[in-house]
Amino acid sequence: MSKVPSVIHWFRLDLRIHDNLALRNAINEAENRKHLLRPIYVLDPNIKSKIGVNRLRFLIQSLQDLDTNLRKLNSRLYILKGNPVELLPKFFDQWQVKFLTTQVDIDPEIVDQEEAVEKIAEEKDVFIIKRVQHTVYDVYSVLKKNNGAVPLTYQKFMSLVNDIQVKEAKDISKVVSDYCKPTDEDLDAYDVPKLEEFVDESTLTPCKYPGGETEAIKRLNNYMAKKQWVCKFEKPNTSPNSIEPSTTVLSPYLSHGCLSPKLFYHKLKEAESGMKHSDPPVSLMGQLMWREFYYTAGAGTKNFDKMVGNPICMQIPWVKKEEYIKAWAEGKTGYPFVDAIMRQLKQEGWIHHLARHMVACFLTRGDLWVSWEEGAKIFEDYLLDYDWSLNAGNWMWLSASAFFYKYFRVYSPVAFGKKTDKEGLYIRKYVPELKKYPTAFIYEPWKAPKSIQNTAGCIIGEGYPHRIVDHEKIHKENMQKMSSAYRMNKEKKAMKRSIS
């Protein structure tokens, strides 16, 4: 047991030093009271079975970078392995903890853990400080401003936050005093684990997006230096199938908290200052505000990540077809554009936002009639930038279950990709079995004559699968199903109103 009381900063979502108010509070408390400072991260020993390898690699890299940056401040990161609810009470006693600082989040699983830990902390007289720093705005204050109601449109959300001042993001540069640095135990036991402890690194594809605050700041500064590009950015005009990303790919750094959304906000304001620029919702600022919109909706909606019991979600009789889910997840639907997107996602952990639109629509209302919850689970596994509220919100939008109701607007798995990549270079990269197909058939290889299939070295049905469904036929049938579901939901709501 430590003879000197401790202050803990619990890193959960914000794996960074800059704009970390909770960490700043922990440092100040430790300095003022001459307590020991212990920044911690609680790692689930079974994490390998819960998230995909790309996200696991990104997380480990982010933790390693965080530890490096903390050491520059004369501190370090303590990795604790286990369940926070079972683990932290033991360390409260062992380290004589007096203060605990952490971040506010809305993910129900995290909130449940935090509430359990807070109850124990109260019993042990541990004072807790929580800071809003994973979002630009305090989403609970936004909800309060709207009389507790969830803003169901982007425009309504923007009207609520339009007059809210966003405080500047601040760095932490003060070096921690030696008397706040623990030396009373085997510190090696708390080191950040190496990736090789979880996976065979030789089986991984090359890392395109290294995790960590250092890389986040570097990437942010590189893009913000391109003021003309920032000001002209419009999401619909970017390419979902460019070989190199046509967007910033800052989303994984935001979701892991390696980049402060407030810092991003102010850097965007700075880049736009005095210049003609695009506006929300299509601008870069608009994209950041979409994140805030979904966080607000997620914070105020019960069962936000489910269909049943979710008050804003359309109840639709989806059918669970395991063979469809498997083919879609593995990029073997027989539609090259869809398959290329899913294979890129599995290999690299990231795909363009419009590519997400394509495959989400295809899985749900467009073609396969599978629940958006199934797609959300697979995205949770694959995405580097997985975020509980954004994942659920976007899937509801693309399945026309909430927020967006023009279900008759269906993405074509053939025509949509051709708009920005007529030659099919993207398909040739991620679906290499089709790389020798003539351009005329690269999006529709089933139309190629047998002689061309032979020449290209890939027979449809052998080297590449037959189409899982006929899009032209099935999407029309699915529109009729959506129409019926909408009508039934409307009738149920009318009945509830008449009873009440």
DSSP H or E run through 6:
strand 6-11
Can you read off the two tokens belonging to residue 69? 């940056």
Q: How many CA atoms lie within 13 A of 417 on its CB side?
A: 26
- Please report the pLDDT score of residue 2 as a whole number: 66
- Enter the DSSP assignment of 97: E
DSSP H or E run through 319:
none
- What confidence tens digit (pLDDT) does each residue in 226-281 have? 999 999 999 999 999 999 999 999 999 999 999 999 999 999 999 999 999 999 99
CA proximity to 348, closest of 245, 278, 276: 245
Helix axes 261-272 and 213-224, enclosed angle (nearest 10): 10
Q: Give the mean model confidence (pLDDT) for residues 385-393.
A: 97
As a dihedral over the C-alpha atoms of residue 491, residue 492, residue 494, residue 499, rounded to 10 degrees, the angle is 140
| Residues 351 and 405: beta-carbon distance below 8 Å | no
Count, residues in the chain: 500
Which domains are delineated in the chain? 1-133 (3.40.50.620), 135-169+213-300 (1.25.40.80), 322-484 (1.10.579.10)
3-state DSSP assignment of residue 5: coil
- Please report the pLDDT score of residue 270 as a whole number: 97
- What confidence tens digit (pLDDT) does each residue in 104-135 have? 999 999 999 999 999 999 999 999 999 999 99
Q: Is the pLDDT of residue 500 over 90?
A: no
Q: Is the pLDDT of residue 185 over 80?
A: no
Alpha carbon distances (Å) from 26 to 39, 90, 98, 393: 9, 20, 11, 34
Which residue type occupies 112? Answer: D
Which residue type occupies 488? Answer: M
Percent of residues in the chain assigned helix, strand, coil, to nearest 5: 50, 5, 40
Q: Which residues are bridge partners to 41 per DSSP?
A: 11, 79
| Residues 310 and 442: beta-carbon distance below 8 Å | no
For every residue of 400-451, DSSP letters joined together read TSSS---TT----TTHHHHTT-TT-HHHHHHSGGGTTS-GGGSS-GGGS-HH
- Angle CA(364)–CA(403)–CA(314) in degrees, nearest 5? 55
- What confidence tens digit (pLDDT) does each residue in 64-110 have? 999 999 999 999 999 999 999 999 999 999 999 999 999 999 999 99
- What confidence tens digit (pLDDT) does each residue in 15-62 have? 999 999 999 999 999 999 999 999 999 999 999 999 999 999 999 999
- Please report the pLDDT score of residue 177 as a whole number: 97
Identify whether 108 is preceded by a cis peptide bond (ω within 30 of 0): no
Separation CA 383–CA 346 (nearest Å)? 8
- Please report the pLDDT score of residue 1 as a whole number: 62
| Residues 188 and 76: beta-carbon distance below 8 Å | no
Both ends of the chain: CA-CA distance in Å? 60
Separation CA 496–CA 500 (nearest Å)? 6
Q: Which residues of 226-240 are buried (b: 16+ CB within 10 A; e: fewer)?
A: ebeebbebebeebbb
> Taking the mean position of all CA atoms in its chain, how far away is CA 344?
16
